[in-house]
Every structure is written in C-alpha cells, then in structure tokens.
Structure 1
Amino acid sequence: MSGAGGFRFIDLFAGIGGLRQAFDRIGGECVFTSEYNAFARKTYEANFPGETPVFGDITQLEDVSLIPDHDVLLAGFPCQPFSIAGVSKKNALGRQHGFACEAQGTLFFDVARILQAKRPAAFLLENVKNLQSHDGGRTFEVIVRTLREELGYHLWYRVIDAQHFLPQHRERIVLVGFREDVPFSWEDLCLPAKGSLRMRDVLHPQDGSEKAELPWTEGALAAVGAKYTLSDKLWLYLKNYAEKHRARGNGFGFGLVGSDDVARTLFARYYKDGSEILVSRGEGVSPRRLTPRECARLMGFPDEFRIPVSDTQAYRQFGNSVAVPVFCEVARIMRPHMRAVIG
C-alpha cells in the first residue's frame, strides 16, 4: 500500500494527536483522523494544519469505505461498559454473537468494524490499565477474542508506566497487533530507569532562562502567573479534606510536589482544583497548579506544541492524552516489523 519505506496510518479517537506524534516521527503519513470533541479538534488542527479537517464522531460514519486505505490503525479508544451475554444463550435465541453483538454500543466496536473492513497490516490501541480488570476481566476477554479469533490478528499487550520517560506515574495498557505472524517482542523496548526525570525537567524555572509565554508566564524572569496559585481558602479546604480522610485511614488527598519529585497521574479533572499535582512554593504559602505548558511537558509534548484553547480545556486535553515518549518507543519497535510486512 505504501512504498519507499513509508506507510499510511489513521488516527481514531485522536484527542490532541499524541499517538500521531509518535508515528509521524517514524515516517508515517496520516490519511484520516477522527475526534469527537470540538475543543480537542481545535488543538489537533492547530498542530497539524493544512490537512483534511478532522472527522467528528466515528460512530456516525456508517460507510467504512469512506476511510482511506491504510497500513496502520491507531486508536486510544475510551473504555465503555460492555454488555456481555453468553454465546450459547444468543444461539438459543437465534441472535448474532461475536464482536458485532458483544461490542455493539461500545467505542471498541468502531475499531473492530474498521479493522474488519480495511484489514490494515498493523494496529496500536491504548487504554487505561484497568481495562484488563473491568467487569471481572470480561471486557478485556471480548477485546482479545475479537482481535485474535474473529479478526485474525496476532496480538501482544503490555502495561507500560510513563515514569520510565517522564516524571509522572502513569500506567496504560498498550495493544499491538499485526495481520501477519511477525517476531514482535516487548523485550525490544528500551525503558530508562524510573525517576531519571524529575519535576524540575518540566516546571518553569522562573529565572529568566526561558522566554515568557503569556498567559502562563510573564516578565523578565518568566514567572508563573499569580492566577495559578491556590487561594488560601481552597488550600485550607484541601488540607482539611486530606486530614479528614487520613483520620479515617483513607488515602484521599492532594499531591504536593517539588522539583525533585515525580508526580501522580495527571487526570482530565485537573481543571477542577489541581489537587492531584500541586507545586510547592515553600513552607507557609499556598501551592500552585501546573500551567498548561507544564502539563504538556509532563505528557512529553514539545514546547512547540500549540495550545489554542482555554486552561480548562487544555487541562482536560492533556489529562486525556497519551504520554508521547512511551508511544515513540512502541512505534520504534513496531517499525521493523511494519517494514517487513508493508515494504
């Protein structure tokens, strides 16, 4: 389908293009993108301009033939509950079974129907670690059976922690599939020691060594704007909330980090109060939230990455994104096998 060592890929549930960044870097050409959220599309299109506009809701694309032929399918599909009934019961009722029934109504179904129709040489899927345990493991069982038995792909999966590449604990499951039986192996991954990067590597230095980037930093020192500092009232509330749960033996509470630390997972809810990752400003003063640029760095996006949306939307987008360096490494070990299959 693609020659001269190149390959064509599609980017489904694309978010702001984290997976695309990885596959662009190994010589791929994106020929189709789908993303439901209008604000995420705005960010995506700002960073990948001059192309066909991003398609919206993939569930509304009934004619899969409209998707261009491609070599690789990428999808960070959201996990939705699966309604799984026994095949024997469905047979007794004369109903259809397999992924067309078990995955219907979930976003994985749209991945499966495109794989079935277009038969790309390879795919990469990403999801939260808990996909494996969702609904007692039955959700993941349907996914694996669909990909291997019904669609005929050779499948490998592994949970990878972004902390190997970034100062953030973030575990995600990665599923890699090839249409042909290739000698793909997770043993080929090069995973740096955890903790090799710390928060100092993503925080604004505030010493004039970087240029100010309004509206997040300002002045000759490129100091973080005052609006990112928590109000005394909110800081007191968070401390009292944490103390209340600590007294009950619960682990709920804020996460305070300094330059030598590794952060908790950045979630899409960060826009609410920033409590999972608060940057210490010293004893006796309220901490601050990360700026959107610091969130981008924490997810492995380059400083050239454009953020054309409000802080609220940016926090949601980076919290929902993939950790780019993780998938650069996965793309790297996929590439030789893609070359063998595609040419």
Structure 2
Amino acid sequence: MEKISFKYIELFAGIGGFRSALDRLGGECVFASEIDPFATRAYKALYDGAPELHGDITQIDAQEVPDHDVLVGGFPCQAFSVAGQRKGFEDARGTLFFEIARIASAKQPRLMLLENVKGLLSHDGGKTFETMCAILNDIGYAIDFRVLNSKHFGVPQNRERIFIVAELDAEHVDWNVTGNDVVAKAKRRVQALDVRTFNFDWPENNEVTTRLRDVLETQVDEKYYLSEEKTSKLIAQLNEKSTPSSKSDDIEWVGSIHPEKDDYYMEVYGVMGVGGISRTLLTMQGGGREPKIVEPVVMRVGNTNPSGNGMNGNVFDSNGLSPTLTTNKGEGVKVTEEVRAVLTPDREEKRQMGRRFKENDEAAFTLNTQDKHGVAIGSYPRYRIRKLTPRECWRLQGFTDAQHDTVMDAGISDSQRYKQSGNAVTVNVIHAIGIPLAKRLKQEEAVTIG
C-alpha cells in the first residue's frame, strides 16, 4: 500500500514489535517508553540509538510527550493472564493501563492501538475490561476490539491476543454482535454500558500458511539439544502415560504424563498429538509441567538438522504450530528428530547389509572389520529433542534474522532474547492491523482538508 505519513508513540515498547510494523507503513516514532534494561539495550541497537526512548512511563509528565497521531502499546499482561494470579487492577502491573489513559487524555491522539492477552476479556467476570472501555469512553474515545491469532498472519505460532482500537470523537455505530464466543459475550456486556463504539476494518484471515519447518534453522548448535538420557526419559514418559483422547478440533491430545486426568491437568501436563496444532503455553516451566508433542521424522546420524518443535518441554511436530512464546527463556522449547542408523553415506535410505534392508525401528547391523564409518552396535534412539533457538523464536514473532543478529551482536544473552521474543507483539499482526489504521488516518485527514 501507499505509505501514509503519521506520528506515533510506543508505550511498553519491549523490542519494538509495533515499531517494526508501523515504520514500514510510513509511521514515525516520536516517543517510546520501556523500563527493562535489556529490552532498552536491544531497542537502541535495533533503532539507531533510539534517542526518543525513555524509561519508566509512570515518572514522565504527560505534557512532555510529543504530539502524535497514534498511541500504541502492549501493556503488561501478567495481571490478566491465565498463567498469573489474575489480580487485575489489584496488581500494580494492572494499573499500567491507567498510564495509557493518562497520556491519551492529555495528548488526545486520533487513534490508539492496544494489545493484551485474550484472558483480559473474561477477567473478573468481564469487569476489568468493561472498566477499561468505560475509561477510554470517558476521555473521548469510541472503541472496537477483536481477538486475532498470529497463526493466521504468516507465522506458525498459535498466539491469540486481543487488540483494541480506540478513535477520538468517532461517531457512534452499534455493533452487530453474532455468536457466543468470548468476544461476542464481551461486546454484549460493553454495549450494555452505553459506551460509544464503532466498527473498525479488521484484517480478515483464517488460513494457516506456514509451519514450524518454515522457521527452523538448518544448522543448530549442540547446546540446544537435550542429552540422550533426558531424551530417553521423556520418550519413555510419553509411551507409558499416553492415553488417547481429543480436546478440540485444533489440538489433538494423546495422553498426559501427569497422574491427574481432569481438564486442568490435561491442559498443563498433556501430550499433544501430531494431528493437531500446539496449544497456547502457560507461563510456567519445570517439574514436567510443560505439554509435549511427538512425531518421528527422518534425519541422518550425527546431523542436527531439525524437523520438529516444542516449547517448555513440549515436543512439537514440524508440521504443526509453535505454542505461544512466553518469557520463560525458551528452556522448554524442543524439537523432535528421528535418527536413522546408516552404515555408509551412500546408503542413508537403504541401510543395506547384503540384500537385507533395515526398518526404522530395528537395531543397526553389527559392525564388521570392513566397516569404517563409526556406526555403533545396538539399538539407536529414534528421536533427538532440542530447544528452539532464540533466532527461531524471533522468527515466530515476525522479526527478521538481521534484527535478531543485531541484538545478539549487542551482547544480549540467549535467555534475554528468549524472554524478549515472548514479551513481544507479533510484527505481522500489527502490520495487518496497521494498514486499515493508517487508511483511517488518511480518510480523516482528507475530511479535515476538505
């Protein structure tokens, strides 16, 4: 599309997921705020030193913020996430929404684009979100909102997030609410408040066009692989505890490695089948809590070429989707690979001994004195399991390799780059929303000029 010049500010900026998308559409960031020191270093490395980047937004006078057309921000979601304690406004992080309202009330940007977890809609029976909508209305804004999933926007990650667009002094338009999903229920509750609403031109996409294999690196350092011992234990757990069941059309469960069998434990500890996609990860790790998916795939002995994926202990199929990235430093992100026992490089597919051929689940042939290729005697593991790399996690959020490598070269550790990817908004989704957002600014400009 034609670039439309506009100015915006980015609050709770992280590594600039909004910025990476909006700059491509003609936006100019005139102010940003981020409190985390590692994210600040990454942001400055990515955006030419970012002189417009400031620290704690709670310490900044609203009048010191430059005038702007659009305010964007993914305000901290821990207070509303199903993985947290869900204290909402009682949690200090929950009150950071009021910082957005404070700045918007003082500066009156034409539009706002806000992002948060889907659980915000139902927190405290919907009261938290209703309060936010009422506040936005009180300071002059009409609202619309939609839940979008990153998997529909060119990245293989199942990441549902709510996006809120607020427009200053927009004419009220009633929503035509259909269905009974969480968004429809929330819209009916909000309409009952008699707040001003409008219909935003949301991007429509319901197709999954990429899979994990599309974002995996071709060469992966051995440090990302689990040891043979840990891999064997994990596979044994899956084999022992697997009890087939199905939870939804998208997610196929093949069992649980936790003794409890109710819905909560299936969700937290469940092992997902390769016929579905990954569920959204909760913000927990360790203790075997991480859900898992397994499908054997073929690779050469000693070759670390990946062909499957997992998060927080999950083992995911490369034909499936990544779970939602979280801030858990990527410790549980795993990929499963099958190892074939081969006698010679030219016999990788056949593994021939005389006229006999070996199947995948058979032990390797016994070496004889003529063999020179280092294949050991006995059974071979059919899987290798590894974490996703930080670069792969950044790809799952729509960032380029060049952006990731810039931050890595700035000295940001693996653990922080994992965390930064989990905290980010998906660039592809923001870009898709940004197109009708920018067009709306252009239309308003044309009306004003006319």
TM-score, reference length from structure 1: 0.81
2:337 — aligned with what?
Answer: 281
Matched, 1:307 2:407: yes
TM-aligned CA distance change 1:225 to 1:103, over 3 Å: closer
1:75 — aligned with what?
Answer: 73
TM-aligned CA distance change 1:186 to 1:164, over 3 Å: farther
Q: Secondary structure at the match of 1:16?
A: coil
Question: Separation in 1 of the partners of 2:201 and 2:64?
Answer: 37
* Structure 1 alignment gaps of length 5 or more: 85-101, 207-222
Q: Tell me the alpha carbon deviations over residues 189-211 of structure 1, each in whole angstroms, 9 at most, x when there is no partner.
A: 141512x100111001x2xxxxx
TM-aligned CA distance change 1:188 to 1:128, over 3 Å: closer
Question: Separation in 1 of the partners of 2:398 and 2:52?
Answer: 25
Q: Secondary structure at the match of 1:157?
A: strand
Question: Separation in 2 of the partners of 1:172 and 1:201?
Answer: 23
**Of the candidates 199, 202, 220, which is equivalent to residue 215 of structure 2?**
202
Q: Which has the higher contact order (CA 8 A, sep 6+)?
A: 1
Question: Separation in 1 of the partners of 2:234 and 2:120?
Answer: 30
Contact 1:11/1:32 (8 A) holds in 2: yes
Deviation at 1:186, TM superposition (A): 4.9
Q: Tell me the alpha carbon deviations over residues 279-301 of structure 1, each in whole angstroms, 9 at most, x when there is no partner.
A: 11226243111111111111111
Question: Separation in 2 of the partners of 1:139 and 1:235?
Answer: 43
1:331 — aligned with what?
Answer: 434
Contact 2:4/2:439 (8 A) holds in 1: no
Question: Separation in 2 of the partners of 1:287 and 1:142?
Answer: 45
2:157 — aligned with what?
Answer: 168
1:224 — aligned with what?
Answer: 220
* Structure 2 alignment gaps of length 5 or more: 80-86, 174-197, 242-255, 270-290, 293-313, 340-380
Question: Separation in 2 of the partners of 1:241 and 1:341?
Answer: 59
Deviation at 1:268, TM superposition (A): 1.1
Q: Tell me the alpha carbon deviations over residues 11-67 of structure 1, each in whole angstroms, 9 at most, x when there is no partner.
A: 000010001111111101000010110101111111101431521111122x21111
What amino acid is aligned across from residue 230 of structure 1 in structure 2? Answer: L
Q: Secondary structure at the match of 2:401?
A: coil
TM-aligned CA distance change 1:282 to 1:178, over 3 Å: same
Deviation at 1:176, TM superposition (A): 0.5
What amino acid is aligned across from residue 10 of structure 2 in structure 1? Answer: D
2:246 — aligned with what?
Answer: none
Question: Separation in 2 of the partners of 1:186 and 1:290?
Answer: 36
Question: Separation in 2 of the partners of 1:137 and 1:304?
Answer: 41
Q: Counterparts in 2 of 1:1-343, with a 5 A limit? A: 5-52=4-51, 54-61=53-60, 63-79=61-77, 80=79, 81-83=87-89, 106-148=95-137, 150-165=138-153, 166-181=155-170, 185-186=199-200, 188-191=202-205, 193-194=207-208, 196-204=209-217, 206=218, 223-235=219-231, 243=241, 245-249=257-261, 250-251=265-266, 252=269, 253-254=291-292, 255-271=314-330, 273-274=331-332, 277-282=333-338, 284=381, 285-305=383-403, 306-308=406-408, 309-342=412-445
Question: Separation in 2 of the partners of 1:124 and 1:32?
Answer: 15
Deviation at 1:181, TM superposition (A): 2.0
Alignment RMSD = 2.4
Contact 2:105/2:139 (8 A) holds in 1: yes
Deviation at 1:270, TM superposition (A): 3.9
Structure with higher Rg: it is: 2
Q: Give the fraction of aligned pairs with identical amino acids, expressed as a percent.
A: 41
Q: How many residues align?
A: 300
Contact 2:212/2:319 (8 A) holds in 1: yes
What amino acid is aligned across from residue 40 of structure 1 in structure 2? Answer: A
TM-aligned CA distance change 1:168 to 1:5, over 3 Å: closer
Quick check: 230-239 or 310-319, which moved more? 230-239
Question: Separation in 1 of the partners of 2:101 and 2:236?
Answer: 47
